[in-house]
Amino acid sequence: MSKKFSSEFVRSPHVLLTKKYSRVLLGGLFFFSTLYFFLKIEDTTSSYSYEVFDPSLTYPRYPNSSTQLELKELPPLYEEWHEYERNLPQHDLTLPPPEGRAARFLFMANHAHASGWGNVLQEMIFNAHLAYATNRAFVFDNYTWDHHESDYSDFKGKVIPSRVPISTMLSGPIIGGPFDPTLSSLSTSSSSSLSSSSSSSSNSSSHHTYTHPTPPRAVSREYYRSICPSPLVIRSEETKGKISSHDGQTVMNGWVDRINELEDVRCVEFEKSSEQLFDIWLFGSSTVLSFWPTLRQSPIITQYAFSPLILSAFQTNKDIFYPPPSPPPASSPSFLESFLAVLDSPPLKGLLTVHIRRGDFEEHCRHLEIWNSEFSGFNSFPEMVDRLEDDEEDEDDSEDHNGDEEKGGEGEGEGAEEEERKKKMRRYQKHCYPEIGDVVRKINKVRKEARDRRYGYVSGELSRVYVMSNAPKEWLEELKKALEEEEEEEEDKWEAVYTSRDLELSWEQKYVAQTLDMYVAMRSQGFIGNGFSSLTSNIVMMRMARGFDPVYTRLW
């Protein structure tokens, strides 16, 4: 699927000036000329001092037509994006320290795979921060479903790419982008009162300060392999046993100390078969929040941004996300505003994005109830309005389920224990696998509670709904109809209701569309998500970093 990365490529940048790369260069000039044209004809509503993209790089061109999607029988392999990652400017041994021959690397070959994008992303953020905190170049890998040789995998009867380059979805330091030149130091202290459930052991109260005037940029796995043919390979289990805590700050400090013990080792790699450094037990508990004050300052968060492929998909579908008239007038945000880091991008006023999981989540939710699971760690900020233990039911909701105890011939003689079991099942269903009635009631409740609330530069009414979901089209159409018909008063009717099924996506965009949903949710004025979902937790984390009023960031 990709070319072998040769040491000759590293030594001599002149090999880039081939006929093939000349075409790529010309394509890049055309791409940035187009961006310059957009900048001139449209005004932006916000200013920024730092761009997350490196203007010296040539980004891949990509199809932007639904007709191309219809003509493709197999998923894309993203060759141009692999080539882009291969040509990152930091892949050069002649660069001055801390890069070039002085660079030190950290590669988690045991990173999550065969998992949803939300799970992979949350671990990747922590891994990238660890590399930054230890002054090493983070080695990024593909979003990997299968490690086998085939370029394609089967997912529930559908053909998907086995490996997708991260640069199709993200940009910024996590994928090799430049660090903010004003970056000077990061202080990591766990003296936080964010979560009452966070442990405060002596280990977690330790204080680390990392100063990196010029942190080394992240590099691709392919480049790393060419530079480090014989890395020091270590297993994670020994260090994890010594940390013996799920407190977020304690865990991160433990790994920083372990990596810093290997200061003289240039290439450090975790054994592919060993346990992940940051696992589901950490991300599944509110104790991870003790690390939030540190992570909130990290450039992995402050410079978190999305790829040109995702931003192009957003621009193509802007009619869904912006209010009419469309296209936006000159005084509205331009396409180039999207090139901001997420924390600096203006909100999508009036838009309420909701995340609804279907499919395999039905069975998963039953297991969560049996396990007495809590909301994911980053869905448990103390500022959050909605909590799993909140057991109050709306009057209409109670009426919908009054007859549940009569189903299946169960009579009035049921004991208190059975009643509690049913009550628990119903509570988990509402939070994890809500039905259409639950969804409509919650959306209208959030809209009413958010009415007239103000924060920063956002105010006013939630007027449009975007549903990000893997639900069948028929189910989503039924939901749209229910939302459109719910309110009797004309002024309370939603201006528009759209779903993921309404998006116009190109061949390449289709297989990374969940990232577009995340981008929209992070910028929407309002958001309702699934407290058990890692995808939701990544969205909530970025919305908390942005400073959204918690009344606008909700859970089922």
* CA–CA separation, 468 and 462 (whole Å): 17
Kindly report, residue by residue over 1-22, the tens digit of the pLDDT. Answer: 433 333 332 333 333 334 444 4
Tokens 């994911």 found at: 376
With a CB cutoff of 8 Å and minimum separation 6, the contacts of 140 are 124, 128, 166, 174, 175, 176, 218, 219, 220, 221
Give residue for tokens 């979560």.
195
Q: Cα–Cα distance between 314 and 319 in angstroms, integer?
A: 9
pLDDT attached to residue 460:
64
The confidence score (pLDDT) of residue 210 equals 52
Long-range contacts of the stretch 519-523 (C-beta < 8 A, 24+): 519/306, 519/310, 519/311, 519/314, 519/342, 520/314, 520/321, 520/348, 520/351, 520/353, 520/466, 520/468, 521/353, 521/355, 521/468, 522/342, 522/546, 523/342, 523/345, 523/346, 523/347, 523/348
Question: Helix 416-432 crosses helix 361-370 at what angle (to 10 degrees)?
Answer: 140
Instruction: Report the alpha-carbon distance of residue 49 to residue 182 in Å, rounded.
Output: 10
How long a stretch of residues is the chain?
A: 556
- Whole-angstrom distance, CA of residue 441 vs CA of residue 479: 12
Q: What are phi and psi of 555, to 5 degrees?
A: -130, 150
Peptide bond into 325 cis (omega under 30): yes
Structure tokens at 111: 């990173």
H-helix or E-strand spanning residue 189: strand 185-189
Instruction: State the pLDDT at residue 84.
Output: 94
Q: What is the pLDDT of residue 370?
A: 83
Compute φ and ψ for 69, nearest 5 degrees.
-60, -40
Read off the amino acid at residue 142.
N
Other C-beta atoms within 10 Å of 179: how many? 21
Rounded to whole angstroms, how far apart are CA atoms 126 and 132? 10
Collapsing DSSP states into helix, strand and coil, what is residue 352?
strand
Is omega for the bond preceding 231 within 30 degrees of 0, making it cis? no
Res 339: pLDDT? 56
Mean pLDDT, consecutive 10-residue segments, the chain of 556 residues?
A: 34 38 46 41 34 53 44 84 95 96 97 91 98 97 89 87 95 93 53 33 44 83 97 95 89 96 97 95 94 96 95 94 65 46 89 91 83 91 86 50 46 69 83 92 91 54 93 94 77 89 95 96 96 95 93 94
Q: What is the pLDDT of residue 343?
A: 86
What pLDDT shows up at residue 97? 94
Q: What is the predicted pLDDT for the residue at 189?
A: 42
Q: Which of these, 79, 30, 58, 62, lies nearest to 313 by C-alpha position? A: 62
Cβ-based burial of 36 (10 A; exposed 0-12, middle 13-18, buried ≥19): exposed
Q: Is 254 exposed, middle or buried (0-12, 13-18, 19+ CB in 10 A)?
A: buried
* 15: number of Cβ within 10 Å: 12
Would you list the DSSP string of 243-283? H----HHHHHHHHHHHHHTTTT-SEEEE-TTSPPSS-HHHH
Report domain extents, the chain.
79-180+214-303, 316-325+342-389+422-555
**Residue 475: C-alpha distances to residues 71, 104, 484, 495 (Å):** 27, 51, 14, 20
- The CA distance from 125 to 179, in Å, is 15
Q: Which two tokens stand for residue 264?
A: 């003289």
Give percent helix, percent strand, percent coil of the chain, each to the nearest 5: 45, 15, 40
The pLDDT score that the predictor gives to residue 360 is 77
Give the Cα separation of 439 and 422 in Å (integer). 20
Place of tokens 């045991």: 110
- Into which CATH architecture does domain 316-325+342-389+422-555 fall? 3-Layer(aba) Sandwich (3.40)
pTM of the predicted protein model: 0.80
| Among candidate residues 195, 174, 181, 189, the one with its CA nearest the CA of residue 128 | 174
Identity of the amino acid at 4:
K
Q: Report the alpha-carbon distance of residue 361 to residue 357 in Å, rounded.
A: 6
